[in-house]
């Protein structure tokens, strides 16, 4: 799930812009034939910042192994069920991660 998210260009661009609070971002998707959307970004929360850091590390070609410790710690703060390293479904992680980032908006 995290590898797929790190390869999503729109998400990468939004996370890069999220580092600068007060910025207005225009999201366009010609492939989907939808109207462009303008989004004003506030100060990013800890989960969003951890996601930005993870995606940035994944994009570094010189980086060997990337461990999402900080991102996982932030997910665990939002969704306690992930503490303890028990088996969880990937779609649950995706849901809690995206919902947590949305709640920080």
Per-residue pLDDT tens digits for 48-104: 899 999 998 888 867 678 888 999 899 888 888 777 767 778 888 888 888 888 888
| C-alpha angle 70-49-25 in degrees, rounded to nearest 5 | 155
Residue 32 confidence (pLDDT)? 66
Write phi, then psi, for 39 (nearest 5 degrees).
Answer: -125, 125
Pairwise pLDDT comparison (80 vs 33), residue with the higher score: 80
**pTM score:** 0.76
| Res. 46: pLDDT tops 70 | yes
The pLDDT confidence band at residue 30, using thresholds 50, 70 and 90, is low
Residue 51 confidence (pLDDT)? 92
């Amino acid at each position: 799930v995290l590898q797929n998210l790190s390869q999503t260009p729109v998400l990468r661009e939004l996370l890069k812009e999220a580092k600068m609070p007060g910025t207005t971002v225009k999201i366009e998707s010609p492939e989907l034939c939808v109207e462009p959307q303008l989004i004003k970004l506030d100060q990013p929360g800890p989960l969003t910042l951890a996601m930005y850091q993870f995606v940035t590390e994944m994009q570094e070609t010189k980086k060997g192994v990337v461990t999402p410790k900080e991102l996982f710690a932030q997910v665990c703060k939002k969704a306690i069920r992930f503490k303890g390293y028990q088996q969880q479904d990937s779609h649950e992680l995706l849901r809690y991660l995206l919902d947590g980032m949305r709640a920080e908006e």
